[in-house]
Amino acid sequence: MRLSRYFLPVLKENPSEAQIVSHRLMLRAGMIKQQAAGIYSWLPLGLKVLNRIQQIVHEEQQRAGHIPVLMPTMQSADLWRESGRYDDYGQEMLRIRDRHDREMLFGPTNEEMITDIFRAHVNSYKDLPLTLYQIQWKFRDEVRPRFGVMRGREFLMKDGYNFDLTREAALHAYNRHLVSYLRTYERMGLQAIPMRADSGPIGGENTHEFLVLADTGESEVFYDSQITDLTFGDRQIDYDDAAACRAVLEEFTSRYARTDETHDEAVFAEIPEDRRRSARGIEVGQIFYFGTKYSEPMGATVVGPDGARVPVHMGSHGIGVSRLLGAIIEASHDDKGIIWPEGVTPFHVGLVNLKQGDASTDNACEALERELTARGLDVLYDDRDERAGAKFATMDLIGLPWRITVGPRGLANNVVELTSRRSGGSVEMSPADAVARLVEIYAPVFAASYGG
């Protein structure tokens, strides 16, 4: 992509409405535009990151054996009356009447609708286990939408629902989700810690929230510092192996880590004092096991092996897809701008031409753009007729993790400069070596992908 032809409306001034750094940087980098309180348009750069995040979520869900569907955003109130949640949900639910005066709503979550799909099509225990998920827009009329996409009213969520014959099988689904979430967040360059949480209006007995530690987080959390040493890494796990999934859950949840709703001072006090931490965190996901809470009232049953009909055991599992952009930026930025982790960066590399219009630098840049693109790398080529300082400032602001700088002086010696956004360090090398180095840097990112 040539920057001269792209749509990247960066802001020079700090937008006064933004209270936290991620919101400020998303606005300044031209990623989003607010349309109403808590409702945003996604501009090209923001959309690119949103798509990368969705791709990772899809891949990790499908790796775990979960099946994608897409449900509508609009739902009928009748469905919610069946579960009894239509009145319970309160003012966060956006209620709408259609032209026939039928009561509709913009879905804040989809337990009822997925249960309706299930009961219409699944009859036998032989069709279980089954986990369906979607990535779809949700609307919650939050009292205080704020912090940009972190607490929006319209936001993108991955919501998944498991259906199992027994409580034991549903707990395996719960553990499987926990494992897949650990992988998902790590691929995005994030540490998200599973913490014991409260189930709120979804209901249920088992639930963990995934929290990214950040001073600007809205949740108060308490944990044993040892938990931050754990990483999932690139271990291979068989998602059908219940014992293996349970072992991961035990490893990641045996140390104290709770949100304020479930925090217990007496238990916390048992941890050695130098390991006790209290901090702020951003909730980027939550998993629930809630048994037959929806299947029973809504008649989602299957015929079991003994011929008797039983309500299925269910859970639901959410990832805050659009919130993740804010969380990643909160965790990864400096005073110049965003620093995207390689796994989610909108472009893999920025290409800066120091002397636009000079035939040899233009040619060298175009050759590099072709070479990098041929290797599957997404390039943003700054071909504008701008000063070097302005080009660097834009690249730093939008946070591409790698930059190649091409100027006439270097080219005379067949060298360009490869710069790391994170460390700021630059190395001179031939254009061919720069391409080879970038291919090497991104190899693990491509290798982590599942099914392309």
Binders of ligand ATP among 71-110, rule CB under 6 A?
109
Q: Total residues contacting Mg ion (rule CB under 5 A)?
A: 1
Binders of Mg ion among 257-296, rule CB under 5 A?
286
The answer to whether residue 341 forms part of the interface with ligand ATP (CB under 6 A) is: no
- Sequential DSSP letters for 416-449: EEEEETTT--EEEE-HHHHHHHHHHHHHHHHHH-
Question: Given the structure tokens 């730093």, which residue do they identify?
Answer: 396
Determine the number of helices (DSSP H) and then strands (DSSP E) in the chain: 14, 23
The answer to whether residue 284 forms part of the interface with ligand ATP (CB under 6 A) is: yes
Cα–Cα distances in Å, from 30 out to 11, 25, 232?
Answer: 7, 8, 33
**320 binding partner (options Mg ion, ligand ATP, none; Cβ < 5 to 8 Å by kind):** ligand ATP
User: Helices 44-63 and 167-187 sit at what angle, rounded to 10 degrees?
Assistant: 140
Which one of residues 148, 318, 407, 431 is an interface residue with ligand ATP (CB under 6 A)? 318
At residue 156, the 3 state secondary structure works out as strand
Residue 89 beta carbon to ligand ATP: minimum distance, rounded to whole angstroms? 11
**200 or 376: whose CB is closer to ligand ATP?**
200
Q: Total residues contacting ligand ATP (rule CB under 6 A)?
A: 16
Stretch that binds ligand ATP, among 20-28, 282-290, 397-405, 406-414 (CB under 6 A): 282-290
The answer to whether residue 157 forms part of the interface with ligand ATP (CB under 6 A) is: yes
User: For residues 319 and 181, is the Cβ–Cβ distance under 8 A?
Assistant: yes
The amino acid present at 228, given as its one-letter code, is T
**43 or 354: whose CB is closer to ligand ATP?**
43
The answer to whether residue 59 forms part of the interface with ligand ATP (CB under 6 A) is: no
Residue 151 beta carbon to ligand ATP: minimum distance, rounded to whole angstroms? 5
Residue 282 beta carbon to ligand ATP: minimum distance, rounded to whole angstroms? 8
Residue 357 beta carbon to ligand ATP: minimum distance, rounded to whole angstroms? 45
Name the token pair of 336: 């110049």
Residue 283 beta carbon to Mg ion: minimum distance, rounded to whole angstroms? 5
Q: Report the distance separating Cα 3 and Cα 395, nearest Å.
A: 11
Element spanning 370, H or E = helix 359-374
| Residue of 133, 188, 194 whose CA lies nearest to 158 | 133
The amino acid present at 149, given as its one-letter code, is V
| Residue of 260, 372, 352 whose CA lies nearest to 2 | 352
User: For residues 445 and 347, is the Cβ–Cβ distance under 8 A?
Assistant: no
The answer to whether residue 169 forms part of the interface with ligand ATP (CB under 6 A) is: no
**64 or 282: whose CB is closer to Mg ion?**
282
**323 binding partner (options Mg ion, ligand ATP, none; Cβ < 5 to 8 Å by kind):** ligand ATP
Q: Report the distance separating Cα 300 and Cα 410, nearest Å.
A: 69
The answer to whether residue 208 forms part of the interface with ligand ATP (CB under 6 A) is: no
Residue closest to ligand ATP (Cβ): 320
Q: Report the distance separating Cα 417 and Cα 439, nearest Å.
A: 16
Is 155 buried (19+), middle (13-18) or exposed (0-12) by CB count in 10 A? Answer: buried
Which one of residues 119, 277, 323, 421 is an interface residue with ligand ATP (CB under 6 A)? 323
Residues interacting with ligand ATP, by CB under 6 A? Answer: 109, 140, 142, 151-152, 155, 157, 200, 283-286, 318, 320, 322-323
Residues interacting with Mg ion, by CB under 5 A? Answer: 286
